[in-house]
Amino acid sequence: MNGDPNNRDSLTEAVAQGHINSSQVNSRQIGNRQTVEPHNTTYWHNGQPVFGDTITLSINDPGLIRGATLYTTMRVHYSLDHPATQWTAHQNRLRNAVHQLKFTEPNWDHIRAGAEYIQSHYPVVRIVVFPNGTEWITGRSLPPDLARKQAEGITVWVAPPDYQRSLPQYKSSSYLAPWLAARKGRDRHCEETVLTNDDGHWLETATGNLWGYGDGQWWLPPLFDDHLGDRQTGQRLPGTGQQILIQLLENSGQTVTPRPWTPDWVSTLEAIAYSNSVIGLIPIRQGLDADDTMIWQNSNSTPANELLKLWQRAIALPVHS
């Protein structure tokens, strides 16, 4: 089925019509193949596949010396055109950023061909576009401990506001701040890091979108607003994986509402989780501040577990009770 990911009902319709079926799942598609041998490493660059783990770039390439590239990362479910893969949404994310930032238009046929090639080797595909329009497409395995994290939940480090992303409304490779924040979080034995603004509002994680459950419903940080700026907004980048979850919740009659995530309000939440298009959803068990003091702890594991199961059933992944 060639579902349109921008149609909010496409995933639900695919489930209802029987296009998504657990019998379709093979080991590569659900990520049972966790590793790729180094000698099999392959990627796609400038219209053709390349074997190896090195790339040749000009020393003057702004993508190399300035981190001036755009990218999107997707988990391929069954095929690029499967509704859960969100191919059109990922392509539109790149296309809109290319136009708004006045990058040279890439060859979209090359990008599609490269993505098809890489997804035949890897369950996760990352597409990068350079300012001159050149594409670079790589693949990787799913996180080897994904099932454990989804079952047990994780601890997050809530970083101070020093680690905010630049041009947060775009998916760019200027990721030094969240990369450093994530590294500092790992030094504290935390498996993810929450980014905050100058007022201490929770914005997003270093790699995904935040979800909070309280007062009988799910809450999201609001989207970045160019006019209001960070002081009035929260989450920096709309997630393609997040859109699947919003669609599933709304089609099951549940409410999802954006609002600023102030520290005092966060402390009242029963459950918190984070999502992206690769991992789906991972519950957060507890949060530590910059002084390693616990500032939030899960009091109700049911909402995040139910949301995870809703996602797993919709894309025909095994559901663990």
Q: Set out the domains of the chain in order of their start, with CATH numbers.
A: 10-140 (3.30.470.10), 146-314 (3.20.10.10)
> Facing residues of 135 across strands?
129
pLDDT at 72: 96
What is the structure's pLDDT at 202?
Answer: 95
Tell me: pLDDT of 75 over 80.
yes
pLDDT at position 20, please?
35
Tens digit of each residue's pLDDT (9 = 90 or more) over 216-244: 999 999 876 544 444 444 455 678 888 88
Residue 12: pLDDT band by 50, 70, 90 thresholds?
very low
Q: Which residues does residue 48 pair with via DSSP β-bridges, in sequence order?
A: 45
Q: Which of 234, 210, 214 is nearest to 224 (CA)?
A: 234
Under DSSP, is residue 182 helix (H, G, I), strand (E, B) or coil?
helix
Q: CB-based contacts of 308: which residues, under 8 Å, 6+ apart?
A: 150, 273, 280, 281, 283
Does residue 62 surpass a pLDDT of 60? yes
**If pLDDT is split at 50, 70 and 90, which confidence band does 36 have?**
very low
* Arithmetic mean of pLDDT over the chain: 84
Q: Give the whole-angstrom CA distance, residue 197 versus residue 235.
A: 10
With bands split at pLDDT 50, 70 and 90, how would you rate the model's confidence at 290?
confident
pLDDT at 14: 38
Range in 22-36, 141-155, 292-306 with the lowest mean pLDDT: 22-36
